[in-house]
Chain A
């Protein structure tokens, strides 16, 4: 009992010191609050593949009431505006080639006869592949328009043109809805990893780490003291981004906050584990900074934040299983957008726990055993 009490006293003592050390530094106080706000706004506005004004061209070889009706729907979205009405398929190459139109829609001559006979009627769409993201999103729009048109044509029969929605949970086709929940995890990871990576390295550089090692504090206590403030700060930053997406961008949240925070806690512990391992390995802050930068880039790229993991080559897909961000982004999106329950996200939690179990003891061991 006494032993436990002493342990408790020492733990509070060393955690207080860590929190004070971070929060009393005016420059680090700024770093903790400004970047998450700034970046979440920036990503919310700037990182968007959404279309607002897409030029397109039409080659209506059918030129019937049915085809005109379909085109009217496209024109009516306000997103697409027609820059050219073509007479022959030769002209398509030039309007796409010189960038006049992002896409061209060709409606074949037999369009209405096929529809009348209940056959599938293909509409050809030619996209400017040079801007794949925007083109993809334009294609998504067109498909959605065609699909809704299909429904009005024959509500009972199956769709005559099969359309797959690009963003299933994103009815408004807004990339922001996909990006921002991902940022809840991604932004706090950058900050917590940087913070923890510098924490031990800073003390090594200033010589206080030796001072700490000769006190009766055990590596476990030192580990906890380094991890707890970083975890708290990471969660605060996630909360900031969450607030921005909820109240500024007004993206409605489908799932429960408790589930979300359980997931975020597990994720932050895993990031802190990685950060502390980097820190324990580094001889100075310079090295720690470098290692963190080298690591953060692939972690972000292989996370599914910007590009779907399913589109990556197999070998990189396997690599994403080592990435805590991959699981946390999946988890946050599932909870936030789909309203997933705790039981649903267990497959995402397990890898995060495994990463923590490996990295945290590794860091604690490295505190004392790193060859100087």
Chain B
């Protein structure tokens, strides 16, 4: 058999889906052309709804394209799915592990399914278990593994036979930074040692930058392709860091920069500085009024910078109008007042301790980030703060009361946006807002006025009569925010509000959040994008229920990178990994910052 040069070759591949409820047809892939060579590590990058999963499923022969030609390993996969499936391995986003079977039994099961000869198994298992570091847990039921370990086991089961091509659909979704790093080590090892062709989809740009070739998908279209370096080059000469002038916080500088989309493509806070990308051909003089004396320094571009240039070109600016959010000072009470007080909070489920004796305070107008790997206890902490879950012991006060036991009316002071932007999908945008407004005791003119206001603030105008279930992801998130803020709460709880959002939408989201904080709203937020911790005034890192570190992002960073200032600032991700690893390795007496 002659070996084809291309692992995947797509010519004007088109796929659309029909929504059964509305009867509307949505294009998942619009005329996509791809040439992925053999033996390479390729990333498909894009936010939710970009078409990554559809493309992978087409390649795996699980669906047929509506139009166009798709060849996998030189075979037309729509005509002959079986010969393709015999030679590829596909790991879907939610891999089908049998939770009640042990690690070993799961491996055996998949080896049987793929007809792996018994003679080959011993060596293959040994290698896979070694690579995934699961050798110690072969007897443990898969259901009892952590999220990261489950993904590694899924990958091992996918690899029980040696495929020619490996398709991985967002293998790192919902996986903490530590496990994420380990998974990528395994993938890279596979590519090097077995000269395997791997196509992996991801929403993380840092992961894409590890690949040979990157394909950027957005709403079913291929925006760009090339090596990570080539994509970076789009922002070449436009990337800078700025140290804010005296009396100014990085967040204020960042807000000012990102509010000028004509000059600035992107700006993010980064370790006490602001990292920004200018439009092409913007002079230093033009920037001066924005920088207000901040010292700038040119830096090499990263993949994310190139990606932002691309997205901005494609989608235009996404700078929200935040004036009214900033002016929204509905809060009575002195600034810096402690509004959330937590002392020795404990939560156990049976003999499992989800949160172990945790204490912290949050002050008015602060953005407080809860960070941690999956199962670290951040969601449990979050739910206890909101009054959704009783604590096992300890003291807890939000806005002066314990929301679990306080009168229902006390809950009027908080707003809550859940992980899945939970809204009533059958109801229109207007009906949702009317319901949540009414639930918080608004009615009549006051309610109508607030609905108009939040619809403007969150860019929902023109969508009033759309069923919220039909809204695209970004709109859903904004509607959830609007619903959570309709009653102008003092404290806003946000549970992973940016997961699945594209970087542009995330910038707009954070711009609104910083404006709210500016206006005096206290914000508690969980996130798994570690870089977003930079927007927070203070963060708390949890692991295995314990508080590992707390302080400003800079203070937390200094816990890890005490030495070697020459290396530049540690990324938040590395900081996080450093702190969690440090604690897991059982080092003695971890020092903490207590501001």
Which residue on A lies nearest to B436, using beta carbons?
Answer: A215
Which residue on B lies nearest to A28, using beta carbons?
Answer: B426
Say whether A21 faces chain B, with CB atoms less than 8 Å apart. Answer: yes
**Could you tell me the distance in whole angstroms from the C-beta of A110 to the nearest C-beta in chain B?**
74
Complex: A25 Cα to B20 Cα, angstroms = 12
A78 CB contacts on chain B under 8 angstroms: none
Say whether B412 faces chain A, with CB atoms less than 8 Å apart. Answer: yes
A25 CB contacts on chain B under 8 angstroms: 426
When the two chains form their complex, are residues A10 and B426 in contact, meaning their CB atoms are under 8 A apart?
no
When the two chains form their complex, are residues B411 and A214 in contact, meaning their CB atoms are under 8 A apart?
yes
A10 CB contacts on chain B under 8 angstroms: 438-439, 441
Interface string of B292-324 (1 = CB under 8 A from A): 000000000000000000000000000000000
Task: Give the size range of B's interface with the partner.
Answer: 35 or more
**Interface-lining segment among A36-44, A45-53, A151-159, A203-211:** A203-211
B393 CB contacts on chain A under 8 angstroms: none
When the two chains form their complex, are residues B389 and A13 in contact, meaning their CB atoms are under 8 A apart?
no
When the two chains form their complex, are residues A216 and B422 in contact, meaning their CB atoms are under 8 A apart?
no
**Could you tell me the distance in whole angstroms from the C-beta of A365 to the nearest C-beta in chain B?**
13
When the two chains form their complex, are residues B388 and A216 in contact, meaning their CB atoms are under 8 A apart?
no
**Could you tell me the distance in whole angstroms from the C-beta of B53 to the nearest C-beta in chain A?**
21
**Could you tell me the distance in whole angstroms from the C-beta of B441 to the nearest C-beta in chain A?**
6
Complex: A206 Cα to B468 Cα, angstroms = 13
B403 CB contacts on chain A under 8 angstroms: 214
B414 CB contacts on chain A under 8 angstroms: 214
A79 CB contacts on chain B under 8 angstroms: none
When the two chains form their complex, are residues B439 and A20 in contact, meaning their CB atoms are under 8 A apart?
no
When the two chains form their complex, are residues B418 and A210 in contact, meaning their CB atoms are under 8 A apart?
yes
A26 CB contacts on chain B under 8 angstroms: 21
A68 CB contacts on chain B under 8 angstroms: none
A93 CB contacts on chain B under 8 angstroms: none
> Considering only CB atoms and an 8 Å cut-off, how many residues of chain A contact the other chain?
28
Which residue on B lies nearest to A6, using beta carbons?
Answer: B441
**Could you tell me the distance in whole angstroms from the C-beta of B407 to the nearest C-beta in chain A?**
8
When the two chains form their complex, are residues B440 and A216 in contact, meaning their CB atoms are under 8 A apart?
yes
When the two chains form their complex, are residues A21 and B439 in contact, meaning their CB atoms are under 8 A apart?
no
When the two chains form their complex, are residues A24 and B422 in contact, meaning their CB atoms are under 8 A apart?
no
Q: Enumerate B390-445 residues with CB–CB distance to A below 8 Å.
A: 403, 408-412, 414, 416, 418-420, 422-427, 431, 434-436, 438-441, 443
Complex: A217 Cα to B410 Cα, angstroms = 11
A114 CB contacts on chain B under 8 angstroms: none
Complex: A210 Cα to B443 Cα, angstroms = 22
**Could you tell me the distance in whole angstroms from the C-beta of B539 to the nearest C-beta in chain A?**
23
Complex: A212 Cα to B422 Cα, angstroms = 10
A371 CB contacts on chain B under 8 angstroms: 349
Complex: A26 Cα to B427 Cα, angstroms = 12
B441 CB contacts on chain A under 8 angstroms: 6, 9-10, 216
Q: Enumerate A23-38 residues with CB–CB distance to B below 8 Å.
A: 24-27
A12 CB contacts on chain B under 8 angstroms: 438
When the two chains form their complex, are residues A216 and B418 in contact, meaning their CB atoms are under 8 A apart?
no
Interface string of B44-63 (1 = CB under 8 A from A): 00000000000000000000
Q: Which of A21, A214, A215 contacts B426 (CB 8 A)?
A: A21
Say whether B175 faces chain A, with CB atoms less than 8 Å apart. Answer: no
**Could you tell me the distance in whole angstroms from the C-beta of A182 to the nearest C-beta in chain B?**
34
A24 CB contacts on chain B under 8 angstroms: 426-427, 467
Say whether A14 faces chain B, with CB atoms less than 8 Å apart. Answer: yes
**Could you tell me the distance in whole angstroms from the C-beta of A372 to the nearest C-beta in chain B?**
7
**Could you tell me the distance in whole angstroms from the C-beta of A371 to the nearest C-beta in chain B?**
8
B425 CB contacts on chain A under 8 angstroms: 206
When the two chains form their complex, are residues A216 and B424 in contact, meaning their CB atoms are under 8 A apart?
no
When the two chains form their complex, are residues A17 and B427 in contact, meaning their CB atoms are under 8 A apart?
yes
Which residue on B lies nearest to A215, using beta carbons?
Answer: B439
When the two chains form their complex, are residues A216 and B431 in contact, meaning their CB atoms are under 8 A apart?
no
When the two chains form their complex, are residues A215 and B440 in contact, meaning their CB atoms are under 8 A apart?
yes
When the two chains form their complex, are residues A13 and B431 in contact, meaning their CB atoms are under 8 A apart?
no
**Could you tell me the distance in whole angstroms from the C-beta of A364 to the nearest C-beta in chain B?**
13
Complex: A27 Cα to B426 Cα, angstroms = 11
Q: Which 8 A-B pairs have the closest CB atoms?
A: A13-B438, A207-B422, A215-B439, A24-B426, A208-B422, A214-B416, A17-B435, A207-B420
* 16 A-B pairs (CB sep. < 8 Å): A9-B443, A14-B435, A16-B435, A17-B424, A17-B431, A20-B427, A207-B419, A210-B418, A211-B422, A212-B439, A213-B388, A214-B414, A215-B411, A216-B408, A216-B441, A217-B439
Interface set of B (CB-CB < 8 Å, partner A): 21, 349, 383, 386-389, 403, 408-412, 414, 416, 418-420, 422-427, 431, 434-436, 438-441, 443, 467, 483, 493
